[in-house]
Amino acid sequence: MVVRRVSVFHELRWQLTETVKETKSQGADVTFGLLFGWHAQDETICLACCTPDGFHYLPFSMSECIGSFCCAASSVTDENEVFQICEKVLMQNQVEESSQAVLLGVWLDSSNHTKIVCQSHSHWFGGNANYLEINFSESDTVLKDCIIVRAKGTFPLIFEFSETKEALTCSITAVVEKIISTFKTHKASFHLSKSLYLMEELAAVDKRTLSSISHMIEKEYGIVNGQDKMKKHSLIEKRPLSFNITIQATGQESLSDNSIYTPTIHFQRRCYKAVTVPLPVDVIAVLKQEMTLSEVKNTLEDKACDQLLLFKDCLQSFIEKTKIPVPAAYHVWPNTLSFPVTVVYPGNKEDTELVSYREKLHRALLLQLDRPQLRRQNSHRFSALENEISYLRNTHVGLWIPEDGHTQLVRGTYTYHHYMQDHMDDDGWGCAYRSLQTVVSWFRFQGYIDKPVPTHKEIQQALVEVGDKPSSFVGSRKWIGSQEVSICLNQLIGVTSKIMFVSSGAELANKGRELLEHFKIQGTPVMIGGGVLAHTILGINFNEVTGDIKFLILDPHYTGNENLSTIQNKGWCGWKGPEFWEKNSFYNLCLPQCPHEI
């Protein structure tokens, strides 16, 4: 047989490696689940993984399940045992048999190093175990040719209210299954524009692909400077192709149920309470551009059914006597994944009440358990909403990265705050305030808080409340430093910080390892103040051999418009050497610490 190459994304490799460590730290033996991806002509591409009950949240359908994995915490685990577990996972989840299915074994060897081995499903090869060649690749090499497709529609869930939870659960199940049957019997259609309806009878004969309807995408979103906005190199830069879900009331598919040919009346005379809950279905799928419209429709139907099942579980889990929660879907894009996922939360619960619920989601999607990644506040703003944001985000993206030495960057999203924004003239005194605002925005975007970024007055008021400043400080034009920034982070958003003191700018060149470790472990922006100036450090490049160091600086002293090109080309966000710092000034660095929570 031909030995296939299996391409595993670096993000997926990191995720599986962390899963092994987490499995060991929890005292468990193994963690297992399903692999999702695609089969190309000469290779199998692994995009995502999750536990068996986690695939409903992924933007991939079960038809894209290409194998299974097993993460073993023991260093003496036999390889055959690991692959046997993988085979059981495939069979228990009724994954379609395919000679291309792969089994991925991950475990710690005797030196505590992660070992990854891939094998074909031996049962499907007549008992022959075939080890496959593993290639680790960048996600953008594959996903740059993909499109995010989104479909939205609201369905009324009408059921009889009962005082007993068991009866209520049965009523909800019956009604949700009826809505699901609408998609399974192809009575739903997906509307993109005036000229495109994905209907069963039309999609089956329409041989066009997603890439072939690019002109419709242009019509949907317009063209800027003669270039299609959809033609981006990275998946995260692309606008989703948005459909509206409609239900066919006429046509062949609406008549598929023979029982409606004969009018039937069911009459039952009694009084009961009826409840109507709107189910706002909002699904996304990551699809290859060469997929046919029929395949697109089938995938959207599958994902709609998946989400309706999540709605049902949410309703049944969070009903409280007479309180019926309205579930809602949220699309989030964890920074450890190369694609977005969708989670469902009840409308009658705050994030603080859903910690155990989120922990289950984190485990299902194999996400870290020490930081929020799936909160409502983590909801991803697709690029179609960019014009709603008045501040530039992640201004360092697109800058060159030094090739010499090791580089660690801020991890996640932040907004750039600088002089003269918000109709506030703080030129000459507000740089530390602006740096603090950038740091707070990071915690907001990462889902740790849902509070807005504080104003200058709110920052000053916080310092007065803790007794650090007199009441006359509020409304003044007095500057603050790293210590005050640390106090405000604790007072305003409950974040603690480490303070690093250096006696001169020249001494900063000796802090490479410490700062590198900060960005590796914490990943938060660092506020630095010295003399009367403050800046934000977004990353470090450090060469352990030569001792050379570079700082990725975000400068809050900028007073211009939100022009990314100007900000990057003029050095307001860019790499600086040690000479950037004043040799004769002392500096304090505020290193915010991430709370361990989800």
- Whether residue 557 lies in the annotated active site: yes
* Alpha-carbon 434 to chain mean position: 27
Indicate the pairing of strand 196-198 with strand 114-120. Answer: unpaired
Q: State the catalytic residue, choosing from 305, 555, 573, 590.
A: 555
Q: State the catalytic residue, choosing from 49, 431, 573, 590.
A: 431
For residue 76, the one-letter residue type is V
- Whether residue 431 lies in the annotated active site: yes
DSSP bridge pairs for 146: 288
* Alpha-carbon 553 to chain mean position: 26
Measure Cα distances from 484 to 80, 101, 275, 477, 529 in Å. Answer: 58, 57, 53, 15, 11
Q: State the catalytic residue, choosing from 39, 191, 406, 557.
A: 557
Instruction: Report the C-alpha gap between 469 and 485 in whole angstroms.
Output: 13
Burial class (CB in 10 A: 0-12, 13-18, 19+), 142: buried
Burial class (CB in 10 A: 0-12, 13-18, 19+), 46: buried
Instruction: Report the C-alpha gap between 418 and 426 in whole angstroms.
Output: 9
Q: What's the DSSP call for residue 468?
A: S
Torsion of the alpha carbons at 353, 356, 362 and 367, rounded to the nearest 10:
90
Three-state DSSP class for 449? coil
Instruction: Report the C-alpha gap between 123 and 127 in whole angstroms.
Output: 5
Annotate 57-110 with DSSP letters as a single string: GSSS-GGGEEEEEEEE--TT--HHHHHHHHHHHHHHTTPPP-TT-EEEEEEE-T
Token representation of residue 305: 């059914």
Instruction: Report the C-alpha gap between 404 and 545 in whole angstroms.
Output: 10
Catalytic (active-site) positions: 431, 555, 557
